[in-house]
Structure 1
Amino acid sequence: MTVEKLYFAGGILTFYGLLGIAQEKITKADYGDDKFIYQAELVFTMVLSNLVFAAWSGSKRDQNDKTPKLIYILCAICYVTAMLSSNYALKHVSYPTQVLGKSCKPVAVMLMCLLLRQKSYNFSKYFCVFLIVAGVMMFLYNPKKSTGSGELGTGELWILASLAMDGCVASCQEFMKKNYQSPKSNMMLNLNLVALIVLVGQSLASGTFFGFFGFVQRNPDCMKWLAALGICSALGQHFIFSIVTGYGPLLCSIVTTTRKFFTILLSVVLFGNSLTTQQWSGSVLVFIGLALDGFLESRAKSGAAAQKKKSK
């Protein structure tokens, strides 16, 4: 990876790692007789923060952006549907099951981009992504905690819907990057604006919108974590759109997928916990996949540069 790629990846790993901590503090805290049931409103909080950040950095927006508004709207609908589907899945399956399912995101991105003819990949890229995804799934999988609850099959269908929408978002972003060079600030602003409208409508229809504000009013201690959630979401998404517009959605999906792996691995190193044989095997697969992908990409760029020099 280049220094810029590492910088963007580091930003995603840092801020989404902190976001996960804030989200857990909000959802797992003891509120007495109150119970936190406002998952969709957490998404609303993050999207609102993303929108405010995008509007605040408005001086960097490209006023000559030629991307059709319809493309932004379609991408935003897929974007918010993916987040909501992922949250709805948690009502029917355990969190580890949801994480395992979402670990397949790079595969969904590649398949949808291929099916919608936005981009094709060579065999080596498929192989590297397979190694990374298989390694992450092997590292995270815990048969003692991965059993689902509730209506059998419903949670898995929500996860598949979320993955399909993730792939559609990636395909839209690839299309915008390839045909319109859509700037990240415009993309961030437009996607979150449409997503916010959809979320408010969904939340009002479900009757939880005002209930969420009532919950916060009754439990003001969660406000600091909601603020942290919003800040980390906005900064994390800034890095996400930086990497999407600069290097494409596939690399972004690989970074976000391996984030959970590196977060857990870091905690193991810091607190001296031991890894199981299965986790060691998964770790080796992830590092082999990342190293091989970086090596092949570097070699391809060197070959292209040498060919260009030779043609001159």
Structure 2
Amino acid sequence: MASMGVWLVTFLCLVVMMLISHVYHQLLDAYEQSATLSDIEYSWFFRLLLNLVGYSTVLLPMFILYKYLQKINYFDKISNTGYTWRVLFMCFGEPGDKLPESAKPRKDDGAAREGAELAFCFTGLMAAYLVWGLLQEKIMTQNYVMSDGSLMKFNDSQFLVFVNRLTALVVAGARLACSRATLAPAPLYKFSYCSLTNVLSAWCQYEALKYVSFPTQVLSKSCKVIPVMLMGKLVSRNKYEMYEYVVAVLISVGMVLFMFGSREDNIGSHVTTLSGVSLLALYMVCDSFTSSWQGAVFSAYGVGALHMLCAVNAFSCALTAAAHAHHAPPLALLHHPVFAADCIVLSVSSAVGQLLIYRTIERFGAVVFTIIMTLRQAVSILLSCVVYGHHISGGGALGVLLVFGAVLLRLYCRQRRARPRHDRV
């Protein structure tokens, strides 16, 4: 009887999915035909609402099915009797407190090995996201010269998000298939929360470049350590020492001094507009939640970085595909060899960067990861200024010193607290 109910609710979910999809396409057509909505400065807000309607095509039916299974206690009443039960359990079932031995958190590997792995993650993240940042700015701000001599500008943030997530899913899926690892060590729905905020933060990041300069966007990211710590307290009830708050403030102040110590005339020319502030604020909230939630999932279920990469990007692909249906970029631009090469390199660097992100969060936590990415942004700013002509003076030297001094202070305090009490002299 319970199985019959599940099939009926599943059919209802498919009907709901088709209805939402129909409504979404109607709204999308109305938006594209309305010059009033699409040409105003705040058109991004309507695009965001449309994206959310597209995402609900996947999320709402999944939520209905989850609530129904929870209401009837499906996994308590029905034993493991077939393929349907296994699929539903993989998506919505809780494995309990017992984890397989291979999934349990590993013991401390020693300071030397931990330091080497941290250095590897730092170097890999720096390289992957420096390439990604440069190509992101190029694709969203530069014109591509077509074969007939005309100029075409790419402006579809949702397409870039989809391509990046699809590439990462293929890479992670292939690696998991080769290793024959468990596909779902945690309920798949747990990954949908951080997947949604991950997609939203990526969309806001690309979209913000239409309203702010790249250095301005990086300035907003430089203050992300504090929001990540606050989100960690909210999501995982994490407790932080006083020195960690001091370090977070020093890093944020140092990055702000570094940015405003430049000679870039237009660094704040757009960020004071409501569109720029709103997109950057939404990015900060979503991105902080993403890393904090992923850290909580790593701790609760002992999943690996590849599992996180695969599951999050599977949801991300589903969400962006639903929101991007029948809305592809111009074919001429897709066939442009330089644009295609930029997209491929951007996606590969994004996939490598995501894998290193999850590895860093798994091993060292969301706060350490955010500090690494903040340091990366300082280098990214300098590289962007060299490549794209943003003029930077030596006025930000104090800020840079403050940032690196804060990082050294964190390392010192952490090592001091790790030593036995009688050694602290």
TM-score bracket relative to the smaller structure: 0.7 to 0.9
How high is the sequence identity, in percent, across the aligned residues?
A: 25
Q: Determine the structure 1 residue equivalent to 2:233.
A: 114
Q: Determine the structure 1 residue equivalent to 2:401.
A: 284
Q: Return the alpha-carbon distance in structure 2 between the equivalents of residues 71 and 92 of structure 1.
A: 33
Q: Determine the structure 1 residue equivalent to 2:144.
A: 30
Q: Return the alpha-carbon distance in structure 1 between the equivalents of residues 422 and 173 of structure 2.
A: 39
Unaligned runs of 5+ in 1: 308-312
Contact 1:89/1:155 (CA < 8 Å) preserved in 2?
yes
Aligned pairs, number: 301
Q: Return the alpha-carbon distance in structure 2 between the equivalents of residues 81 and 216 of structure 1.
A: 23
3-state secondary structure, aligned to 1:177: helix
What amino acid maps onto 1:259 in structure 2? R
2:290 to 165, 169, 184: 169
3-state secondary structure, aligned to 2:144: coil
Q: Return the alpha-carbon distance in structure 2 between the equivalents of residues 40 and 169 of structure 1.
A: 18
Which deviates more, 138-147 or 99-108? 138-147
What amino acid maps onto 1:256 in structure 2? M
What amino acid maps onto 1:23 in structure 2? Q
What amino acid maps onto 2:189 in structure 1? L
Distance change (3 Å), C-alpha of 1:293 and 1:101 = same
Which deviates more, 182-191 or 100-109? 100-109
Q: Return the alpha-carbon distance in structure 1 between the equivalents of residues 179 and 269 of structure 2.
A: 45
What amino acid maps onto 2:123 in structure 1? G
Are residue 144 (structure 1) and residue 265 (structure 2) matched? yes
Distance change (3 Å), C-alpha of 1:83 and 1:304 = farther
Per-residue CA deviations over 1:99-124 (Å, capped at 9, x if unaligned) read: 21122222111111112343121110
Q: Radius of gyration: which is bigger?
A: 2
Q: CA RMSD in A?
A: 2.9
Contact 1:92/1:148 (CA < 8 Å) preserved in 2?
no
Are residue 104 (structure 1) and residue 223 (structure 2) matched? yes
Residues 210-229 of structure 1 mapped to structure 2, 5 A cutoff = 211-217=329-335, 219-229=336-346
Distance change (3 Å), C-alpha of 1:212 and 1:9 = farther
Per-residue CA deviations over 1:194-251 (Å, capped at 9, x if unaligned) read: 11111122222xx542x2544212x222222222112211112121111111111111
Residues 9-88 of structure 1 mapped to structure 2, 5 A cutoff = 9-27=122-140, 28-31=142-145, 32-58=150-176, 59-60=178-179, 62-63=181-182, 65-88=184-207
Unaligned runs of 5+ in 2: 1-113
Q: Return the alpha-carbon distance in structure 1 between the equivalents of residues 203 and 384 of structure 2.
A: 28
Per-residue CA deviations over 1:144-180 (Å, capped at 9, x if unaligned) read: 2123449931221121111111121122112112211
TM-score normalised by L of structure 2: 0.64
Q: Return the alpha-carbon distance in structure 1 between the equivalents of residues 258 and 180 of structure 2.
A: 40
TM-score normalised by L of structure 1: 0.86
Distance change (3 Å), C-alpha of 1:197 and 1:64 = closer
Q: Determine the structure 2 residue equivalent to 1:238.
A: 355
Q: CA deviation at 1:93?
A: 3.1
Q: Return the alpha-carbon distance in structure 1 between the equivalents of residues 357 and 181 of structure 2.
A: 18
Contact 1:118/1:175 (CA < 8 Å) preserved in 2?
no
Q: CA deviation at 1:280?
A: 0.7
Distance change (3 Å), C-alpha of 1:101 and 1:246 = same
Contact 1:26/1:225 (CA < 8 Å) preserved in 2?
yes
What amino acid maps onto 1:38 in structure 2? D
Q: CA deviation at 1:68?
A: 2.3
What amino acid maps onto 2:127 in structure 1? T
Q: Return the alpha-carbon distance in structure 1 between the equivalents of residues 383 and 206 of structure 2.
A: 26
Distance change (3 Å), C-alpha of 1:64 and 1:147 = closer
What amino acid maps onto 2:160 in structure 1? L
Per-residue CA deviations over 1:24-47 (Å, capped at 9, x if unaligned) read: 443424323322112221222211
Contact 1:98/1:159 (CA < 8 Å) preserved in 2?
yes
Q: Return the alpha-carbon distance in structure 2 between the equivalents of residues 124 and 150 of structure 1.
A: 31
2:210 to 82, 91, 94: 91
Q: Return the alpha-carbon distance in structure 2 between the equivalents of residues 148 and 268 of structure 1.
A: 16
Q: Return the alpha-carbon distance in structure 1 between the equivalents of residues 118 and 422 of structure 2.
A: 19
